[in-house]
A and B are shown apart, each in its own frame.
Chain A
Amino acid sequence: MNFDFSDEQKMLRDQARSFLEDKCTSQTVRTILEGDEPYDKELWAGIAEMGFLGAAIPEEFGGLGLGHLELCVIAEEVGRVVAPVPFSSSVYLATEALLAAGSDSQKSAWLPKLAAGEAIGTFAVAEGNKPATAKNVNASFDGSSLTGTKVAVPDGDVADVAIVAAKSAKGTALVLVDLNGPGVSRRNLRTVDPTRSYAELTFEGAPAELIGDDGEGWSLKERVFDRAAVLMAFEQVGGSQSALEMAKEYAMGRIAFGRSIASFQAIKHKLADMYIKTELARSNAYYGAWALSTDAPELPVAAAGARVAAIEAYGFAAQENVQAHGGIGFTWEADCHLHYRRARNLNLALGSGRVWKDALVTRLEQRNAA
């Protein structure tokens, strides 16, 4: 039994932690929250320089050629510090889509830039206030260009390239669009988490090329989202752990009724529950990491399990961290809302818990039937 990260992977985690704790304090996050910049460009450049963006990209395409387990440990650290950078869109979604289905020329064109942080990628599915399902995809691809509107697209305001789900003659297709090219317009959106931006993208005959097989777009989207779900689960586990540590630190120092509030069982049990949910999520994420790194047939079930557990853990830890802080936790001044915002964002970004739970049971039914 070897269900743990290797010593080398743990060293990478330590390296990522010390880099990110140094370069991304809560003030760094607040600067993006309160300012006009969509993301922290200096931090992004630093992350690129560390090689983190290309950890799972083969060396021939400009990456470090490590693997997905390495990417998992990095993602956890990105989550701990609530990093205000388009990491998940560019790495978990655009890069994974290119790795999974890109042609050699698409990979050569984009992966080196994504690995170096010179280009930012994203993935566009949703089209407004309706479920992000295949039948609600109305953007259309005519074989060479794309027309339609996508909203909300994570990091859509800053991305250079997008993988877009579109209707085609054969059903659903995924297409790759250079967002700096003609026929693309963007509008910034206000969201629950301004430390990570979202945009509405409108395509009017924008040049687009197929990625993967025409008509197989939705199943490819599901494959990419499964991979992203595992990676994001690590980010959520990192956030959850960090919210728990914040709550602990505050409770230890806060005196009420003549004693540290951390000595009250009501607080202890709350923190114990945060710990329990975080560990359950971590273990589910580990299983997802194993399935992802070995490309196992268990990945669809493992990814959904990782996502559901991570949503539960981070949502709970972020909200109970506010509660443990009492009144100060409800202020702008306290950092609790950084996690509260990020938890809501990550918990919805790839599809809600409700949707993933339903998908998980469907996958269990399929597995049982097989």
Chain B
Amino acid sequence: MDFNDSPEEAAFRAEVREWLDKNAEKKTDTNTNWRAGLDDAEAMAKAKAWQAKRADARFAQITWPEEWGGRGGTPIQTVIYGQEESQYLAPRGYFEIGLGMCIPTMMAYATPEQNARFVQPALRGEEIWCQLFSEPSAGSDVAGLRTKAVRDGDDWVINGQKVWTSGAHYSDFGILLTRTNPDVPKHKGLTMFFLDMKSPGVECRPIKQMSGDANFNEVFFTDVRIPDSQRLSDEGNGWKVALTTLMNERLAVGDASGPDIEELMELARNTESETGGPVIKDMDVRQKIADWYVQGQGLKYTKFRTLTALSKGQTPGPEASISKVVSAPRLQDLTSFALDLMDQSGVQMDRELTGENMQFMASNFWAPGLRIAGGTDEILRNIIAERVLGLPGDVRVDKDVAYKDLPKGTS
């Protein structure tokens, strides 16, 4: 047992470091942000330029085959690259969904000509992709979606609404899951397409979150025409295609990040308790810190176990599935407790008054979304129970009923 690189990994790490040193600016401290001082357009331009550089050096999608601009590398090399890149002011956040989910789906189902047209521009950051699955009435049960695609000559006509689409407003293309046949059970009547997000009838609107910020979009489709040549796989085979996309989602959705033990301990050292002295001396506070510390360490070392499997060229064990279901509620609980420590001043959500403590308020209003995005706490527990522990599926009342005959609740 050790935490060292194998000789091959060490050589790869050295290669990555050498390249990053030449091409990127090293962070001076962990809190520096590549976006500092840039507006949205400048940030995007910077990110695109960086992505092109990475792609040219074949560091953008390390595991992709060489013919697609990868280097036929291993998952552990991707991890090593990410570890090293995080030490530099390297932009990120625009291309992960496209390259992690959409383009792999294209590679599996689009024509060779289409892939020749789309893969490279996506890899180099010239075109950005989004994923259009979730709907107001189809969240965890995404196969219950309503957006309709109706055949009209060589085209399909799309009407409906998608929601929680990250990056829709700046995306050039998207993959879109639709209902093409309401007369068969819900999973069997779906069809997947890709489309130009600038098509007439596509409208993006930002969603105002409970925090007041707007990080996501809803996308409306009104008589949008998509040529049949942009259908991915057969009519009615959309669920199978979607599973290809979602299998890759696990890799794309990260852990909850935000204030952690160090910040909580800092707060507890600097907060006076009712009995005088720092509140970190109080036993109830220490018990909580210890609980969250071991949860955090548990996730960290679970990740090390996963990396070990990758390093040996094995498929990681099921333990990797616990990451988000632990980290998201942990962030919510930890930040709620931080507010509690602040006592009555915890109500303040004003950077001028709270200073550094604002991070706890902000994360407390972000964490509820993390518990829902990319699989709710509840769905993730179902997945652990069914796929890891092998428990039977729930009784399904919608399996053999035509979609049109299913009860439709409120959206």
Binding site for B on A (CB under 8 A): 1-5, 69, 244, 248, 251-252, 259-260, 262-265, 267-269, 271-273, 275-276, 279-284, 286-287, 289-290, 293-294, 304-305, 308-309, 312, 354, 356-358, 360-361, 364-365, 368
State whether the Cβ of B1 lies closer than 8 Å to any Cβ in chain A. yes
Known contacts A3-B305, A269-B378, A305-B293; decide if A280 and B299 are in contact (CB<8 Å): yes
21 A-B residue pairings within 8 Å (CB atoms): A1-B4, A1-B76, A1-B307, A1-B308, A2-B2, A3-B3, A3-B307, A263-B392, A263-B394, A264-B394, A269-B385, A276-B325, A280-B326, A283-B302, A283-B319, A284-B301, A286-B305, A289-B1, A304-B290, A312-B294, A360-B290
Q: By the criterion CB–CB under 8 Å, are A280 and B295 in contact?
A: yes
Considering only residues 357-406 of chain B, those with a C-beta below 8 Å from chain A are 378, 380-382, 384-386, 388-395
State whether the Cβ of B291 lies closer than 8 Å to any Cβ in chain A. yes
Q: By the criterion CB–CB under 8 Å, are B381 and A272 in contact?
A: yes
Cβ–Cβ < 8 Å partners of B287 in chain A:
354, 357-358
CB-CB contacts of B269-304 with A at 8 A, as 1s and 0s? 000000000001001001101110111011111101
Known contacts A1-B5, A271-B389; decide if A280 and B294 are in contact (CB<8 Å): yes
Q: By the criterion CB–CB under 8 Å, are A1 and B283 in contact?
A: no
A358 interface neighbour in B283, B301, B378, Cβ under 8 Å: B283
Extra inter-chain contacts (5) besides given A1-B5, A262-B392, A275-B389, CB under 8 Å: A263-B391, A263-B392, A265-B394, A279-B302, A360-B290
CB-CB contacts of B1-39 with A at 8 A, as 1s and 0s? 111111001000000000000000000000000000000
Give the 3 A-B residue pairs with the shortest CB-CB distance, closest first. Answer: A280-B298, A357-B290, A268-B385
A276 interface neighbour in B6, B311, B322, B386, Cβ under 8 Å: B322
Judged by DSSP, the binding face of A is helix
Q: By the criterion CB–CB under 8 Å, are A280 and B1 in contact?
A: no
A272 and B394 CA atoms in complex are apart in Å by 15
Q: By the criterion CB–CB under 8 Å, are B391 and A271 in contact?
A: yes
Q: Which residue of chain B has its CB nearest to the CB of A310?
A: B294
Cβ–Cβ < 8 Å partners of A273 in chain B:
381
Q: By the criterion CB–CB under 8 Å, are B389 and A3 in contact?
A: no
Q: Which residue of chain A has its CB nearest to the CB of B382?
A: A268
State whether the Cβ of B207 lies closer than 8 Å to any Cβ in chain A. no
Q: By the criterion CB–CB under 8 Å, are A361 and B290 in contact?
A: yes
A308 and B298 CA atoms in complex are apart in Å by 11
Q: By the criterion CB–CB under 8 Å, are B378 and A280 in contact?
A: no
Cβ–Cβ < 8 Å partners of B381 in chain A:
265, 268-269, 272-273
Q: By the criterion CB–CB under 8 Å, are A276 and B326 in contact?
A: yes
Q: Which residue of chain A has its CB nearest to the CB of B319?
A: A279
A364 interface neighbour in B293, B319, B380, B393, Cβ under 8 Å: B293
Q: Shortest CB–CB separation between residue B399 and chain A, in angstroms? A: 14
A294 and B4 CA atoms in complex are apart in Å by 14
Q: Which residue of chain B has its CB nearest to the CB of A356?
A: B290
B1 interface neighbour in A5, A267, A269, A361, Cβ under 8 Å: A5
Q: By the criterion CB–CB under 8 Å, are B294 and A3 in contact?
A: no
Q: Shortest CB–CB separation between residue A232 and chain B, in angstroms? A: 15
A262 interface neighbour in B326, B388, B391, Cβ under 8 Å: B391
Q: By the criterion CB–CB under 8 Å, are A69 and B391 in contact?
A: no
State whether the Cβ of B119 lies closer than 8 Å to any Cβ in chain A. no
Q: Which residue of chain A has its CB nearest to the CB of B303?
A: A283
Cβ–Cβ < 8 Å partners of B297 in chain A:
283-284, 287, 305, 309
State whether the Cβ of B265 lies closer than 8 Å to any Cβ in chain A. yes
Q: By the criterion CB–CB under 8 Å, are A281 and B298 in contact?
A: yes
Q: Which residue of chain B has its CB nearest to the CB of A286?
A: B301
A117 and B322 CA atoms in complex are apart in Å by 41
Cβ–Cβ < 8 Å partners of B384 in chain A:
272, 275-276
Cβ–Cβ < 8 Å partners of B261 in chain A:
364
A1 and B74 CA atoms in complex are apart in Å by 14
A1 and B12 CA atoms in complex are apart in Å by 13
Cβ–Cβ < 8 Å partners of A69 in chain B:
1
A4 and B5 CA atoms in complex are apart in Å by 14
A284 and B294 CA atoms in complex are apart in Å by 7
A260 and B390 CA atoms in complex are apart in Å by 13
Q: Shortest CB–CB separation between residue B140 and chain A, in angstroms? A: 12
A331 and B307 CA atoms in complex are apart in Å by 43
Q: By the criterion CB–CB under 8 Å, are B311 and A1 in contact?
A: yes
Q: By the criterion CB–CB under 8 Å, are B265 and A3 in contact?
A: no
Q: Which residue of chain B has its CB nearest to the CB of A69?
A: B1
A33 and B378 CA atoms in complex are apart in Å by 39
Cβ–Cβ < 8 Å partners of A287 in chain B:
297, 301
Q: Which residue of chain A has its CB nearest to the CB of B310?
A: A1
Q: Which of B4, B388, B391, B393 has the most CB of A within 10 A?
A: B391
A336 and B395 CA atoms in complex are apart in Å by 28
A91 and B5 CA atoms in complex are apart in Å by 33
Q: Shortest CB–CB separation between residue B384 and chain A, in angstroms? A: 4
Cβ–Cβ < 8 Å partners of A259 in chain B:
395
Cβ–Cβ < 8 Å partners of B298 in chain A:
279-281, 283-284, 309
Q: Shortest CB–CB separation between residue A257 and chain B, in angstroms? A: 10
A244 and B382 CA atoms in complex are apart in Å by 16
A267 and B394 CA atoms in complex are apart in Å by 11
Cβ–Cβ < 8 Å partners of A276 in chain B:
322, 325-326, 384
Q: By the criterion CB–CB under 8 Å, are A272 and B302 in contact?
A: no
A37 and B280 CA atoms in complex are apart in Å by 48
Q: By the criterion CB–CB under 8 Å, are A1 and B3 in contact?
A: yes
CB-CB contacts of B323-335 with A at 8 A, as 1s and 0s? 0011000000000
Known contacts A2-B311, A3-B301, A268-B381; decide if A357 and B286 are in contact (CB<8 Å): yes
Cβ–Cβ < 8 Å partners of A262 in chain B:
385, 391-392
Q: Which residue of chain B has its CB nearest to the CB of A273?
A: B381
Cβ–Cβ < 8 Å partners of A252 in chain B:
391-392
Q: By the criterion CB–CB under 8 Å, are B325 and A283 in contact?
A: no
Q: By the criterion CB–CB under 8 Å, are B391 and A361 in contact?
A: no
Cβ–Cβ < 8 Å partners of B382 in chain A:
265, 268-269, 272
Q: Shortest CB–CB separation between residue B12 and chain A, in angstroms? A: 13
Q: By the criterion CB–CB under 8 Å, are A263 and B304 in contact?
A: no
Cβ–Cβ < 8 Å partners of B385 in chain A:
262, 268-269, 271-272
Considering only residues 181-202 of chain B, those with a C-beta below 8 Å from chain A are none
B290 interface neighbour in A5, A244, A275, A358, Cβ under 8 Å: A358
